[in-house]
Amino acid sequence: MAPPRKKHRKPGETHAVHLRLPADVFRRIEAKAAMAGWPLNRVVVKELVAFPDLEKLKKLGELIADMEVVLARHGARLKEKEFI
């Protein structure tokens, strides 16, 4: 039997996706939708669109933590020089 043909979509055409969310995630999405007065789908899409930005913020947090260590070491060296 031949494999089914893939349907070619036009640019900008939406794709149907069915999700099974954990209960806590669903409650969070549902609460956001109720507060904003938006459909659940719009909140899910907004969350997915924001995900790459969250990845960047995670990296920024790691860089800031590294910089705190560097500054603490530098401050310690400056204090050692004051006592000499």
pLDDT digits 0-9 by tens, 51-82: 877 778 888 888 999 999 999 998 888 877 77
Q: What is the pTM of this model?
A: 0.52
Whether the CB-CB separation of 44 and 29 falls below 8 Å is answered with yes
Dihedral sign, Cα of residue 57, residue 59, residue 62, residue 68:
negative
5-38 tens-digit pLDDT: 777 778 878 888 888 999 999 999 999 999 999 9
Q: Which two tokens stand for residue 26?
A: 């669903």
Provide the terminal-to-terminal Cα distance of the chain, rounded to the nearest Å. 84
